[in-house]
Structure 1
Amino acid sequence: MSKRLFSVLVLIFLAGGIFIFPALPVLSVSNRKKTSQRFYSMNGFRNGFAISYTHSVNKGRVKDFYKSKGRKLVCGRTVFVSYGAGIPEPQEMPGAVFKSTDEGYEISNINRTVDKLVMAVGIVANHAFSIQDKNGKSTDYFLADFFEPQTSIVFQIKNVSIADYIFHHIK
């Protein structure tokens, strides 16, 4: 085998490996039973994300804010428009801070850490996924646009290949 052919084959192998090897950390949102239904967010991994929904008891809108910490998800704060049944009490969470803001009521410093977040896409809840870009502009995606209502979905930090990311990412 000539040196030139060997070099070309090595380059092709390396280039293929870059596109196939799962080395890109992202926030993955996937159907728990049908993992082929999924999307990835680089900004969700880097800048954090929020999940908003209509509360089942008091019918107010709630927004939970998450950040990634290594391969874990950390809920740092929650904001809600009405306080009442079904809303956690700050004293139930050691170190949490309750305050009233222009957005509504906020409990911060929650620091609830999970390996993955499993939830069902709600019909009445109208779940939305929000991410911010590097300029602070927020984009909302309604989960029912990606998954059937009542589908069990998983939010988690994963390493994926560049090719997988290209075919399944959201902007």
Structure 2
Amino acid sequence: MKKVIKISLIIVIFCCLVAAVFFSPVINVLSIKSRKCQPQLFYSIEGYSKGFVISYTHSVNKGRVHDFYKHTEDDNIELYKTSFVSYGAGIPEPEETPGAVFSVTQDSYVIENLNRIVPRLVMAVGLTARHTIVFDTSFTIGSKEFILTDYFEPQTSIILEYKKVSLYSYLKHEMK
């Protein structure tokens, strides 16, 4: 009888440990969710660990813009670099940000050291803008781009933020 109780106790403890690991918020992710429609929620571990790049077609000059983000030590979002093919309304001027560095490459203009920090990024998914996200700031040709209109309706207001989630929640909402 003692042996049965001991085995039962071990099984209960094991199940509790598994449940704790599975349901405790321990995984750092980039969370992307609709502001109004809660089921529209996606997570990326790479978006947290490697940063992310949001790209879009500029509404005025029609060129592609790439904004580079990473997490800060206190899990805020930092816009640290932008690249674009032509100036247009809303493109930052290097002089606006102390320490920003402007450079010209073969195929784009780049502003680095922007150091713009926000607790979360709120944006509207555009149809004409063709918003995409890449979960890696190396952003090279062939990087896996996720087209945001494949996940959210055009004009949906979305929130990007860093958070901790459980393994269960991550597996349920992983962006694929």
Instruction: Output the TM-score relative to the length of structure 2.
Output: 0.90
Counterpart CA distance in 2 for 1:24 and 1:4 is 31
Q: Distance in 1 between matches of 2:42 and 2:118?
A: 20
Q: Which residue of 2 aligns with 1:161?
A: 166
Could you report, residue by residue, the CA deviation over 1:134-169 in whole angstroms, capped at 9, with x for unpaired residues? 9x7721000000000000001100111001111211
Please give the residue correspondences for 1:42-61 in structure 2 after superposition, counting only pairs within 5 Å.
42-61=45-64
Unaligned runs of 5+ in 2: none
Partner of 1:15: 18
Change (3 A) 1:9 1:133: farther
Gaps of 5+ in 1: none
Give the number of aligned pairs.
170
Percent of pairs identical after alignment? 48
Q: Distance in 2 between matches of 1:83 and 1:133?
A: 22
Query: Which of 92, 98, 103 is matched with 2:102 structurally?
Result: 98
- Quick one: distance in 2 between partners of 1:21 and 1:123? 37
Counterpart residue number, 2:115: 111
Residue 88 (structure 2) pairs with residue 87 (structure 1): no
From 144, 152, 168, the equivalent of 1:139 is 144
RMSD between superposed Cα atoms in Å = 1.8
> For residues 100 and 155 of structure 2, what CA distance do their matches in structure 1 show?
31
Equivalent positions of 1:66-81 (< 5 A) are 66-69=69-72, 70-81=74-85
Structure 1 residue ranges (4+ consecutive) displaced by more than 6 angstroms after TM superposition: none
| Residue 31 (structure 1) aligned with residue 34 (structure 2) | yes
Q: Which amino acid aligns with 2:167?
A: I
Measure, in 2, the Cα distance between the counterparts of 1:86 and 1:34.
28
The structure whose Rg is larger is 2
Kept in 2: contact 1:43–1:133 (CA 8 A): no
Distance verdict in 2 for CA 1:132–1:138, change over 3 Å: farther
Query: How far off its partner does 1:4 sit?
Result: 1.4
Please report the TM-score for the alignment, with normalisation by the length of structure 1. 0.93
